[in-house]
Amino acid sequence: MFSEKLPTALGDRFVGEAKRNKSAAILVSDAADATPFPSISGLKVAEFYDLLGGEVRTDRVLDRRLKEIMNDLGHNCLPNGFTGAPDTLLEEYSKECLQFLLECPVRRYGQERRFERLPDGLALGRNKFNIYFDAKAYEREFHPSADDIRRFASYVDDFNRRYSNYVGRISLFLVISGSFSKDGNAVREKINDMYAECSTPMAFIKSSDLAEAVTVFRKAPVQRSGINWRKVLAPQLFKLTRLKDEVKRIQKDAIITT
């Protein structure tokens, strides 16, 4: 990364190191004409962050009020001291939380693509554990309608047709909101409906629980890499106890140390 034009001498060294390591030389800079070297590719800082899944906003995931903030946003309420739309903020915060937890690129599609057949975001997880997520800011309990399920399924089908040969299929469709139906049978029925439509599991997670999951790893973030996320994010309403059981297992194994 450079904030100004790359000096010639340093550029020569950079190109030489890239050739010796059989690698591509890439300069990340917002400066105009940052590199005069044809053999060095250029990326803007924003493009570089986007390539990696977006910048990591540690000010959000490490905020001590995260659970309270996420609970408010999930219920379509603007937290104290915030400006903007709760639904947009919920999408942004959900993206940050998932990126922190899964340690993988997570993309939020944003308002500029709101008219396309897309959910709110995509996580390209390790071992091809790919998650589509949709964040719903609802004042009351969110319970997907039949139309919602068909729309979710269409997102998954479209992705799988386009990209399954490159990055694998969508492994899970995750719905994030402030609260969900307390009727377990009703929740399971929607999960079954989703699977019948596109052969893809669906899970629900309360926004406050997503925040709580982040807090589990604040003091020992290295433990995230040992979590079996396919087991934790099972097709049901997320239970924090599943995650905590996984953490206990990792601590007992004592392979990953903090």
CATH number assigned to the domain comprising residue 66: 3.40.91.30
Q: Which pLDDT score is estimated for 216?
A: 94
pLDDT, tens only, 64-100: 999 999 999 999 999 999 999 999 999 999 999 999 9
Query: What distance in Å separates the CA atoms of residue 141 and residue 32, rounded to the nearest whole number?
Result: 50
Q: What is the mean predicted confidence (pLDDT) over 124-133?
A: 96
Do 122 and 192 share a domain, yes or no? yes
Do 134 and 83 share a domain, yes or no? yes
Do 26 and 72 share a domain, yes or no? no
Residue 149 within any structural domain of the chain: yes
Do 110 and 208 share a domain, yes or no? yes
Residue 1 within any structural domain of the chain: no
| 34 — pLDDT class (breaks 50, 70, 90) | low
Do 20 and 76 share a domain, yes or no? no
| 24 — pLDDT class (breaks 50, 70, 90) | confident
Residue 110 within any structural domain of the chain: yes
Q: What is the mean predicted confidence (pLDDT) over 32-45?
A: 73
Residue 258 within any structural domain of the chain: no
List beta partners, residue 123: 106, 131
Do 226 and 159 share a domain, yes or no? yes
Do 169 and 108 share a domain, yes or no? yes
Residue 62 within any structural domain of the chain: yes
Number of domain units in the chain = 2
**For the chain, what percent of residues have pLDDT higher than 90?**
69
**Residue 207 near residue 213 (C-beta atoms within 8 A):** no
**Residue where a domain stops, chosen among 49, 64, 81:** 49
Q: Which pLDDT score is estimated for 174?
A: 98
**Residue 29 near residue 2 (C-beta atoms within 8 A):** yes
**For the chain, what percent of residues have pLDDT higher than 70?**
92
Do 129 and 29 share a domain, yes or no? no
Q: Which pLDDT score is estimated for 202?
A: 98
Residue 3 within any structural domain of the chain: no
Do 71 and 140 share a domain, yes or no? yes
Do 63 and 133 share a domain, yes or no? yes
Higher model confidence: residue 18 or residue 222?
222
Residue 2 within any structural domain of the chain: no
Do 132 and 169 share a domain, yes or no? yes
Domain of residue 126 covers 55-253
List beta partners, residue 206: 177
Query: What distance in Å separates the CA atoms of residue 219 and residue 211, rounded to the nearest whole number?
Result: 14
pLDDT, tens only, 144-190: 999 999 999 999 999 999 999 999 999 999 999 999 999 999 999 99
Q: What is the pTM of this model?
A: 0.81
Residue 218 within any structural domain of the chain: yes
Do 82 and 162 share a domain, yes or no? yes
Rounded to the nearest integer, the mean pLDDT of the chain is: 90
